[in-house]
């Protein structure tokens, strides 16, 4: 470990005083100009984490996702690509707050951590770091790297600008693959494109039978999706990337991107609707760091129709259920869908009543959903906002492989289904929700089923819903229970909400404090658009 004098000099160069930080739903996220201290301590903490995990490489992503351009943030990724182990979040928060107080306080806290976590600071370890396209990224990276220098035995690999899921993927491959395999973007593209190639072979297509429009939120997903799709002839002339101006910092997430489309339930800037209805036209929006995606189309009446995370979860559930049946595996494999309170009531109803699939509800944030999803053999998890993926248990993958090895004599239908299931375990980025891989997976399902976006949408009809944001003096007063569906405090507020909800048809509403913004969110759904809007507004008034 670095001597005190040198560490202090680095601290003084990068740290400022007087702020209070908290490692929230997706790491630290604030206005970029107050983040230097946090970046420095996150460098130290990521180093500690790697040393604690016997020197395995830990990932770090500098991003504020769908937030406005002046924000930034940072999150730590576990060696296998998952979110930081929950018990370490408090260490991250504490170290940042001590550093924000004084060097002495920071140094004492660091010493305590090393001691209580029994960390051997002389061993070697590794950090893989990347950032999204924000202007503040390079400055914050510098503060982060200064923090990592606290442990001179650590190697840093700086990947430059990546999407968040690319960083998760490369972190996990760094630990999984031998040293002589180059862990770079090529590895990432090859992984998903080679699975995609099998889909095109199985479906026998030479050209994508969709007109695909991609809104890249003026973020890093734009150049990355182009780099990916341009490698395959099948996409030639079939897609167009809009809002791809990732070097125009101010344009990031502005009037475009997955969050804008989901929240406003309308087309983003830069995506126009054709004059005439085209059943094969499909649009999608990424968020700024390309870990979320939502799809949408305009129906024959010209009406905007959203295909969000719930629609993706239900599409995958239906598809995998069919494949499990036709391959004779449905009795051996447990499939489930994990959602949050934001999932549309109709989607849960469709999954449980129509498909007969088990549904679990967790708190918001990928780490909660992922944790529940890995309990299934096929765990499908999506937040309504488009953040999600599918995870497959190793037991399931082994079963598939052994069936594929022995079942080639069985019916062609069953063998084909086994093959498709196997391809999907490779087409989907299991480490985390990934706009690029999710996009390919959704297109693949539509191709195999020969469905149009409208056909996909017709499986069930969303209940009209409204999400609003209410700024309150102290959002920490809002404490929830039952996977955020009910309030515990402030006292009596839940009863008042329940009383309101009972006045509307088929209605539901809940309130929770945001983990990424200083505000409280109110969600309401009901039988009609007017009722949903009115209910959201009424509950919003109660909360104010």
Residues that bind ligand 16G (CB under 6 A): 25-26, 65, 364-366, 383, 385, 387, 514-517, 521
Q: Could you tell me the smallest distance in angstroms from the CB atom of residue 344 to ligand 16G?
A: 15
Q: Which does 287 bind (CB under 5 to 8 A by kind): ligand 16G, Zn ion, none?
A: Zn ion
The answer to whether residue 327 is catalytic is no
Residues contributing to the site for Zn ion (CB under 5 A): 65, 287, 289, 291
- Identity of the residue, 109 or 430, whose beta carbon is nearer to ligand 16G in the bound complex: 430
Q: Which does 289 bind (CB under 5 to 8 A by kind): Zn ion, ligand 16G, none?
A: Zn ion
Q: Could you tell me the smallest distance in angstroms from the CB atom of residue 187 to ligand 16G?
A: 22
Helix axes of 103-116 and 36-52: crossing angle, nearest 10 degrees: 20
Q: Which does 148 bind (CB under 5 to 8 A by kind): Zn ion, ligand 16G, none?
A: none
Q: Could you tell me the smallest distance in angstroms from the CB atom of residue 285 to Zn ion?
A: 12
Q: Which does 434 bind (CB under 5 to 8 A by kind): Zn ion, ligand 16G, none?
A: none
CA distances from 285 to 86, 385, 432, 510 (A): 30, 11, 17, 26
Q: Which does 385 bind (CB under 5 to 8 A by kind): ligand 16G, Zn ion, none?
A: ligand 16G
- Identity of the residue, 173 or 521, whose beta carbon is nearer to ligand 16G in the bound complex: 521
User: Three-state SS string across 437-476, please?
Assistant: HHHHHHHHHHHHHCCCHHHHHCCCCCCCEEEEEECCCCHH
Q: Could you tell me the smallest distance in angstroms from the CB atom of residue 177 to Zn ion?
A: 26
At 148, which helix (H) or strand (E)? helix 137-148
The active-site residue out of 22, 50, 54, 65 is 65
Contacts of 468 by beta carbon, 8 Å cutoff, 6+ apart = 521, 522, 536, 537, 540
* CA angle, residues 463, 365, 169, in degrees to nearest 5: 115
Q: Which does 403 bind (CB under 5 to 8 A by kind): ligand 16G, Zn ion, none?
A: none
Nearest to 516 by CA among 39, 72, 46: 72
What does residue 105 show for φ and ψ, rounded to 5 degrees?
-65, -40
Q: Which does 383 bind (CB under 5 to 8 A by kind): ligand 16G, Zn ion, none?
A: ligand 16G
Query: How would you list the strands of the sheet with 304-307, edge to edge?
Result: 239-242, 211-215, 281-286, 293-298, 304-307
Contacts 24+ apart (CB under 8 A), 172-179: 172/79, 172/80, 172/81, 172/431, 174/57, 174/126, 174/128, 175/56, 175/57, 175/79, 175/80, 176/80
- Identity of the residue, 200 or 389, whose beta carbon is nearer to ligand 16G in the bound complex: 389
Q: Could you tell me the smallest distance in angstroms from the CB atom of residue 355 to Zn ion?
A: 28
SS3 category, 80 = coil
Q: Which does 514 bind (CB under 5 to 8 A by kind): Zn ion, ligand 16G, none?
A: ligand 16G
Q: Which does 515 bind (CB under 5 to 8 A by kind): Zn ion, ligand 16G, none?
A: ligand 16G
Q: Could you tell me the smallest distance in angstroms from the CB atom of residue 287 to Zn ion?
A: 4
Q: Could you tell me the smallest distance in angstroms from the CB atom of residue 97 to Zn ion?
A: 25
Distance CA 515, CA 370 (A): 17
Q: Could you tell me the smallest distance in angstroms from the CB atom of residue 135 to Zn ion?
A: 18
- Identity of the residue, 154 or 511, whose beta carbon is nearer to ligand 16G in the bound complex: 511
Distance CA 149, CA 140 (A): 15
- Identity of the residue, 389 or 417, whose beta carbon is nearer to ligand 16G in the bound complex: 389
* Other CB atoms within 10 Å distance of the CB of residue 449: 14
- Identity of the residue, 213 or 521, whose beta carbon is nearer to ligand 16G in the bound complex: 521
- Identity of the residue, 47 or 219, whose beta carbon is nearer to Zn ion in the bound complex: 219
Distance CA 393, CA 367 (A): 17
- Identity of the residue, 424 or 478, whose beta carbon is nearer to ligand 16G in the bound complex: 478
Nearest to 221 by CA among 263, 163, 272: 163
Distance CA 288, CA 258 (A): 8
What does residue 140 show for φ and ψ, rounded to 5 degrees?
-70, -35
**Per-residue DSSP letters for 274-291?**
PSS--TTEEEEEE-TTSS
- Identity of the residue, 36 or 259, whose beta carbon is nearer to ligand 16G in the bound complex: 259
Q: Could you tell me the smallest distance in angstroms from the CB atom of residue 19 to Zn ion?
A: 24
Across-strand partners of 134?
A: none
- Identity of the residue, 84 or 199, whose beta carbon is nearer to ligand 16G in the bound complex: 84
Distance CA 542, CA 544 (A): 6
Q: Could you tell me the smallest distance in angstroms from the CB atom of residue 3 to Zn ion?
A: 39
Sign of CA dihedral 154, 155, 161, 165: negative
Helix axes of 493-501 and 529-543: crossing angle, nearest 10 degrees: 160
Q: Which does 379 bind (CB under 5 to 8 A by kind): Zn ion, ligand 16G, none?
A: none
Distance CA 132, CA 257 (A): 15
Give Cα 251 to chain centroid, integer Å. Answer: 21
Contact of 121 with 51, CB cutoff 8 Å: yes
**Catalytic residue numbers?**
65
């Amino acid at each position: 470990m670095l001597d005190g004098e040198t560490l202090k000099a680095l601290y003084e160069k990068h740290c400022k005083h007087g702020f209070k930080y908290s490692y929230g739903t997706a790491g630290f996220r604030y206005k970029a100009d107050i983040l230097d201290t946090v970046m420095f301590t996150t460098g130290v903490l990521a180093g500690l984490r790697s040393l604690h995990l016997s020197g395995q490489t830990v990932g770090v992503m500098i991003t504020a996702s769908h937030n406005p351009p002046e924000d930034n943030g940072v999150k730590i990724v576990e060696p296998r690509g998952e979110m930081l182990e929950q018990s370490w979040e408090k260490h991250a928060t504490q170290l940042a707050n001590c550093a924000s107080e004084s060097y002495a306080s920071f140094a004492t806290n660091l010493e305590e951590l090393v001691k209580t976590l029994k960390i051997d600071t002389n061993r070697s370890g590794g950090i893989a770091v990347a950032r999204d396209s924000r202007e503040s990224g390079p400055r914050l990276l510098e503060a982060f790297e200064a923090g990592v220098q606290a442990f001179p035995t650590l190697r840093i690999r700086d990947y430059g600008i990546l999407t968040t899921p690319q960083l998760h993927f490369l972190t996990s491959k760094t630990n999984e693959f031998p040293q002589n395999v180059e862990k770079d973007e090529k590895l990432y593209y090859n992984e998903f494109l080679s699975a995609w190639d099998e889909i095109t072979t199985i479906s026998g297509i030479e050209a994508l039978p969709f007109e695909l429009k991609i809104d890249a939120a003026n973020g890093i997903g734009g150049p990355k999706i182009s780099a990916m799709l341009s490698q395959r002839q099948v996409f030639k002339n079939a897609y167009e990337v809009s809002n791809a101006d990732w070097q125009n910092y101010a344009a990031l997430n502005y009037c475009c991107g997955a969050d804008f489309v989901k929240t406003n339930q309308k087309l983003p800037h830069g995506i126009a609707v054709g004059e005439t209805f085209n059943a094969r036209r499909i649009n999608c929006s990424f968020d700024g760091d390309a870990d979320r995606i939502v799809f949408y189309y305009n129906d024959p009446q010209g009406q905007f129709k959203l295909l969000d995370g719930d629609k993706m979860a239900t599409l995958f559930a239906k598809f995998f259920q069919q494949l499990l049946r036709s391959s004779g595996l449905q009795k051996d494999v447990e499939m489930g869908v994990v959602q949050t309170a934001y999932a549309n009531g109709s989607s849960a109803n469709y999954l449980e009543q129509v498909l007969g699939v088990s549904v679990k509800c967790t708190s918001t944030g990928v780490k909660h959903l992922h944790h529940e999803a890995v309990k299934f053999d096929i765990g499908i998890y999506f937040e309504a906002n488009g953040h999600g993926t599918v995870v497959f248990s190793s037991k399931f993958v082994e079963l598939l492989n052994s069936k594929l090895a022995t079942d080639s004599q069985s019916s062609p239908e069953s063998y084909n289904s086994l093959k498709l299931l196997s391809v999907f375990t490779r087409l989907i980025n299991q480490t985390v929700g990934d706009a690029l891989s999710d996009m390919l997976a959704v297109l693949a399902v539509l191709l195999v089923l020969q469905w149009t976006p409208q056909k996909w949408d017709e499986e069930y009809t969303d209940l009209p819903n409204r999400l609003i944001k209410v700024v309150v003096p102290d959002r920490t007063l809002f404490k929830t229970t039952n996977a955020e569906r009910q309030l515990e405090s402030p006292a009596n507020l839940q009863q008042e909400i329940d009383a309101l909800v009972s006045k509307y048809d088929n209605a539901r509403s809940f309130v929770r404090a945001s983990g990424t913004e200083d505000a409280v969110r109110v969600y309401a759904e009901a039988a009609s658009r007017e009722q949903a809007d009115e209910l959201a507004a009424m509950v919003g008034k109660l909360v104010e």
